[in-house]
Structure 1
Amino acid sequence: MTTTTSTPPPYVDVAVGGLSTAEQVAISLVTVAALLGVVLLSRRESARREGRRSSLLATVGATAALVVATVVIVVVWDAETTAWAALSGFQVQAAMFVRAFLTVVFLVAVYVGTGFIHRGIERFLKQTKGVTEHQAEVTYRIVQISVYVLAVVVILGFWNVNLSGLLIGAGFAGIVLGMAARQTLGAVFAGLVLMFSRPFEIGDWVKVGDKDGIVTDITIVNTRLQTFDGEYVMLPNDYVGANEVINRSRKGRLRIHVEVGVDYTSDIDRAMDIAKEAMGEVDDILSVPRPQVVLKEFGDSAVLLDLRFWIDKPSARRRWRAQTAVIGAVKSAYDEAGVKIPFPQREVSGRAETGGFRVNDQPSVAGEPEHADQPGSAVRQDDEVSDADEGDETDE
């Protein structure tokens, strides 16, 4: 029986995956150099752009580069076999790590993608006229939330999570929350409508229902006004959307109406010319458009004239100052011209079958008081009082 002894072959530089040892070392060095370059570039970019977002993006970029470099080195040196063997003791499947790695990469991509979306929305809205920064921010937040919700759904599907039960539970939860907070949700939806329909902006002078003031803030839930008495009023957005909104400062000017009555015996055309001339001398109103005076209606005691004039940059202070100046100027002009602004008047008449209405100027004779049942007679108040006083003295 012959025993054959095998001798080990001399050392041969066997290539792993077709790569020699020198090539493995070179690739590893290049990978490490690239990793250091990415880290340094991220730090420089973070230092140049100061801010929390830039710092976070630099950290995420450096982490992603480190993960990629680790994977490259492991593959080049064929270390995945040893790594899987070490992990097999913990009974961890390779598919789980692959899914976890892909999940992390996907979340990083979604976060970075929202940054690009933010810049794209800002760039697009800057080219669109009439869109405020507040509206641009609200638009970005809505898009961001939508992207995150979609990303969560994709990740759950990637991990083979049954979404049917989750969706059913979310549906029931949505119904319960909707019933419990229907007023709040109504205010939220109304706030979104207000932000995009833009009936007013911060600083506008508006009237909402019976509330009048300056808009100080617009949130997703309510709108805040400062009244001219110095009070702050918080109006739910659903109340704002359900009521008439009057914006008095949107066009940059406002027309004001002032009524004045002149006597029926006055020359109406002359009174209108005097009022128009008086308004033309007031500095607090605009000369273009010109002030106007029109006949409005027949009043109980006077013919009513409607004085119409404009002010620019409308505000409550400018309105009351202009209105006060116009009233004072027209009153002074009418006094100088002898145009009468009458007091309220009433006409009193009696029926013809009773002899009409007559005023008795003769004093009554002592002991013979006038009686109210006599036709056309009038009993004076002082006589009644005197009789009452005499009766009181007699009783005493």
Structure 2
Amino acid sequence: ARSEMCIRDRFLTGRLKHGDRDLTSTQRLLLSATVGVATAVGALTLIAVWDRSGALFKAAQSALTANQVSNVVLAVILLAIAYALTDFLGGVIREIGAESASISQHQQEVILRVTQLTVYTSAILAVVGLFTENVGSLLVGAGFLGIVVGMAARQTLGAILAGFVLMFSRPFEVGDWVEIGDHEGTVTEISIMSTRIRSFDGEVITMPNDDVRSGSIVDRSRRNRLRIEVEVGVDYDTDVERAAAVVEAAAADVEDVAEMPEPNAVTKRFDDSAVVLGLRYWIRNPSMRKRWRTQTAAMNAMKDALEDEGIVIPFPQQTLSARAEGASGPQLDASVEGRAATRDGSASAGDGGSEDADDGGSVSASDGGSEGDGR
């Protein structure tokens, strides 16, 4: 029986949560008002049951004598209306944004924050006006207090101001692939105080908005396309124009590489052992995953195409040579000579003496084949 009750409770809870997600803004507002009325009725019922109405009436009578209870009630009502109105308007803004493709999520956040600030500021000024007639002097005092608080919390206020600047200037939007300073990832949230980025390692990075504004911002999603460049070296004996045509054709057949602009290979520099070509191509709807996937596929296709055409991709090589005693030039050290003698089947005779290697035990030099001793 207990398990059946648990299952029933979980089912009802899930249904209520699912139903709450499906409610419209008007329905949520009506539900909030109903809950408030039910709470008030329940409180009055408890007061009647506990027979505390007399004490409550005396407290209300003393408050009426001071002529403040009505102002308190009005202040509470005004704040409740402001909260309900911002919640209702927030739902309306989200619904309009969901139905209209012309309003981005970033613009929805800007409109929602400005609406909340306007409604709450108006409500607070109205509440202050209930308790004092000289609102002007109060505002002047609040201005001086704001200066003092601003000096003490200038970093926080700077982040708030930078948040509004980011919301209106729109250097990036939610969902963009950006690089801000030393951090790179996808923007997940832009608030008044901070900006959140999800890195490609799964980390969530929260950056104060003043740091975001003071640093450099690179948005790789703004133009909805991204150019990528990879380098490859070819031998000096290779026809460079032919090699460039081969890598361009190989990159054009790679998936996710944009047809226009076409892939383009340029000669970049001369290295010690190769002429370096830079292949430049574009991808649409860029993301970090697509970038690395396309770059890997392009490099593999370039390597296969160059091998099929017989074009050599050079790499650094080192040649070891041995010279006879008395000859000018570099000599092999004892360890190298010993390894060479071991490979040729010679035996070391000790520190002082050595045996002459036979004809098959000499080490050929790369520059003409001078013979060396095996020690």
What is the TM-score of this pair, normalised by structure 1? 0.59
Question: Which residue in the other structure is 1:178 paired with?
Answer: 150
CA distance in 2, matches of 1:229, 1:316: 11
Match of 1:221 among 193, 196, 202: 193
CA contact (8 A) 2:63 2:69 kept: no
3-state SS of the aligned residue for 1:380?
Answer: coil
* CA positional deviation for 1:331: 0.7
**Structure 2 residues not aligned, in runs of 5+:** 1-24, 38-60, 339-347, 353-375
Does residue 1:51 correspond to 2:28, yes or no? Answer: yes
**3-state DSSP class of the match of 1:378?**
coil
Instruction: Give the structure 2 partner of residue 136 of structure 1.
Output: 111
Q: Are residue 291 (structure 1) and residue 263 (structure 2) matched?
A: yes
CA contact (8 A) 2:228 2:282 kept: yes
Q: How does 1:149-298 map to 2 (within 5 A)?
A: 149-156=124-131, 159-161=132-134, 163-164=136-137, 167-168=140-141, 170-298=142-270
The offset of 1:327, in angstroms, is 0.3
The structural deviation recorded for 1:53 is 5.7
Give the structure-2-normalised TM-score.
Answer: 0.62
Q: What corresponds to 2:310 in structure 1? A: 338
Cα 1:101–1:129 change in 2 (3 A) is same
- CA–CA distance in structure 2, aligned partners of residues 231 and 106 of structure 1: 44
In structure 2, the residue matched to 1:363 is 324
- Residue 305 of structure 2 aligns to which amino acid in structure 1? A
Q: CA deviation at 1:108?
A: 6.0
Q: After superposition, give the CA deviation of every residue in 1:279-328 in whole Å (9 maximum; x if it has no partner).
A: 12222322233222222333443322221222222211111111001100
Cα distance, 1:188 vs structure 2: 1.5
Aligned pairs, number: 289
CA contact (8 A) 2:233 2:313 kept: yes
Question: Residues 216 and 103 (structure 1 numbering): CA distance in 2 closer, same or farther, change over 3 Å?
Answer: closer
Say which SS state the counterpart of residue 269 (structure 2) adopts.
strand
Indicate conservation of the 8 Å contact 2:238/2:311, yes or no.
Answer: yes
Give the direction of change, closer, same or farther, for the CA distance of 1:102–1:303 in structure 2 (3 Å limit): same
Shift in Å at residue 143 of structure 1?
A: 1.1
| TM-fit CA distance, 1:189 | 1.4
In structure 2, how many angstroms separate the alpha carbons of the residues matched to 1:189 and 1:228? 29
Match of 1:81 in 2: none
Q: Give the match for residue 146 of structure 1.
A: 121
Residues 1:113 and 1:222: Cα distance change in structure 2 (over 3 Å) = closer
Q: Are the counterparts in 2 of residues 110 and 151 from structure 1 also a CA contact under 8 Å? A: no
Q: Alignment partner of 2:27: what SS?
A: coil
Measure, in 2, the Cα distance between the counterparts of 1:311 and 1:172.
55
| Alignment map for 1:88-107 (pairs within 5 Å) | none
Q: Which amino acid aligns with 1:224?
A: R
Aligned-partner SS, 1:50: helix
Q: What are the ranges of 5 or more consecutive residues in structure 1 without an aligned counterpart?
A: 1-47, 61-88, 347-358, 371-376
State the alpha-carbon separation in 2 of the partners of residues 90 and 360 from structure 1.
110
